[in-house]
Amino acid sequence: MPSGIPSDIKTEVDQILEAILYLYTESRRITKELARSVLLTGPQLTVLKMLEGLGDLSLSELSERIRAQNSTVTGIIDRMEREGLVVRTRSTEDRRVVLIKLTDKGLRIAREVSVEPMEILRAALDSLSAAEMRDLLKILTKIARRVQSIVKREVPSGARE
């Protein structure tokens, strides 16, 4: 951090970064632990819980929601399909769209895992007032946009995938 920044601001920035890092690592730890209990990987559990909550999704919708590349999600779905957890079906509205759908086995396993890290974070966010929620969203969106612009400018495109 530039030396011109007062030390109390540096301390606050460090505390914010520590909180963000804690939320990220704790979410990953809980996901891995819960996934292991039902013999899945963390990403597979995330997909199961997402499909359980939202219903059938296209590959691109799923990729967007879990913030992963289509190619990464395709690999996850391929393995889940081989294990009988999901199936690919054509959309009745648009035959070009392939939807990912839970099988009975996938739904059963999704229901075995009663808690999912996103639900824990949602419950924690519920303690905020409406004004605090708006402020947090505004701030996080601003930070996310800034990170995106820095990444686009400073990280080679091949290193982002």
Distance CA 96, CA 150 (A): 36
Distance CA 65, CA 10 (A): 33
Please state the domain count of the chain: 2
Query: Helical H runs in the chain?
Result: 7-37, 42-54, 59-66, 70-82, 104-112, 117-125, 130-154
> What pLDDT is stored for residue 17 in this prediction?
92
Check whether residue 48 and residue 85 sit in a common domain.
yes
Say whether pTM exceeds 0.95.
Answer: no
The answer to whether residue 158 is domain-embedded is: yes
Query: Does residue 90 sit in helix, strand or coil?
Result: strand
Phi, then psi, of 2 in degrees rounded to 5: -55, 145
Check whether residue 100 and residue 21 sit in a common domain.
yes
> What pLDDT is stored for residue 134 in this prediction?
96
- Give per-10-residue mean pLDDT for the chain (161 aa): 64 90 89 90 91 92 88 93 95 87 95 79 90 95 92 72 51
Check whether residue 102 and residue 154 sit in a common domain.
no
Residue 57 · residue 125 · CB < 8 Å: no
